[in-house]
Amino acid sequence: MFKLLKYALYDIVKSRFALLYTLFMVLVAISIYQVSDDLGKVSLSLMNIMIMIVPLIAAVFATTHFFNNLEFIELMLAQPVKRIHVFLSQLLAVILMLSLALIVGFGLPMLLWGADSSLITLLIVGVVLSAVFAGFAFLASVYTRDKAKAIGISLSLWIYFSLVYDGLVLYIIYSFADYPLEKATLALMMLNPVDLGRVLMLMQLDISALMGYTGAFFQQFFSEFMGVALAGGMLLLWVLLPGLLAMMKFKKRDF
């Protein structure tokens, strides 16, 4: 499996996408650091950009990578190699590349201009979201043989979790404003990895007072060990679930 992973990583590096993605992240981080000296404002600005861009790039690139390497995957499946090793090597290569590009792209400016706990949390959330949407992309790719359709599904999932879901939650909160919705809102947030990462970041920035009573409830919840453990467990579940579903389908797919 490690040889397959090495070849998959080499193929990604050869495409130069990793270098371009890393340079893009470096330029974004440097431009934000140049605008403000307040690390809290830097974290908030980077979070707003990362929440939208990182899942989008992960979804599109992972889908494109799968279909561009379909012939290589079929060749490996004709060899005495376990299907699970072929699948995991491709998925892990994509996740590692996206994660390293994000860590280097945001990490270098952090080393030069400084970082706090919120910026470290930002990197962790970015890595998690990269893994989640790469898993979604592979799940869409193994369920259809049409590259355009798979990219459409991946983009639809990104739009849903990044944009549409928040609108649905706001509609529910507005419709039931007369009822206590703190626990219900917390449960709805757990069903969206993007929202979960965003709230964890906002708690680190200590600006929950701007979110009213619900923000105070979240601050109290995530300040306790059980709250952090539950949030971490849900993020881990979001990382594992799409990949496991995609792997189960991949093992049964007739190439």
Residue 120 class from Cβ within 10 Å (0-12 exposed, 13-18 middle, 19+ buried)?
middle
Q: Does residue 113 surpass a pLDDT of 70? A: yes
Q: Does residue 138 surpass a pLDDT of 50? A: yes
Give the C-alpha separation, 191 to 193, whole Å. Answer: 7
Q: Determine the pLDDT at residue 1.
A: 74
> Which region among 73-87, 92-106, 222-236 has the lowest average model confidence (pLDDT)?
222-236
Range of the domain at 120: 2-252
Mind listing the pLDDT tens digit for each residue in 207-220? 554 454 455 566 66
- Supply 97's token pair: 């590349």
pTM here is 0.90
Q: Does residue 93 surpass a pLDDT of 90? A: yes
Give the C-alpha separation, 34 to 59, whole Å. Answer: 30
Confidence of residue 240 (pLDDT cuts 50, 70, 90): very high
Mind listing the pLDDT tens digit for each residue in 2-34? 788 888 888 888 778 888 999 999 999 999 888
Residue 16 phi, psi dihedral angles, 5° rounding: 70, 0
Mind listing the pLDDT tens digit for each residue in 57-75? 999 999 999 998 888 888 8
The number of beta carbons lying within 10 Å of the beta carbon of residue 112 is: 11
Mind listing the pLDDT tens digit for each residue in 148-190? 999 999 999 999 998 888 888 878 877 877 777 777 777 888 8
Average pLDDT over residues 194-199: 84
The number of beta carbons lying within 10 Å of the beta carbon of residue 31 is: 12
Q: Determine the pLDDT at residue 208.
A: 52
DSSP state of 166: H
Average pLDDT over residues 193-206: 78
Please tell me the total count of domains within the chain: 1
Distance (Å) of CA 32 to CA 99, 118, 126, 250: 20, 15, 17, 41
The number of beta carbons lying within 10 Å of the beta carbon of residue 107 is: 18
Q: Determine the pLDDT at residue 174.
A: 78
Of the chain, the percentage scoring pLDDT greater than 90 comes to 34
DSSP state of 146: -
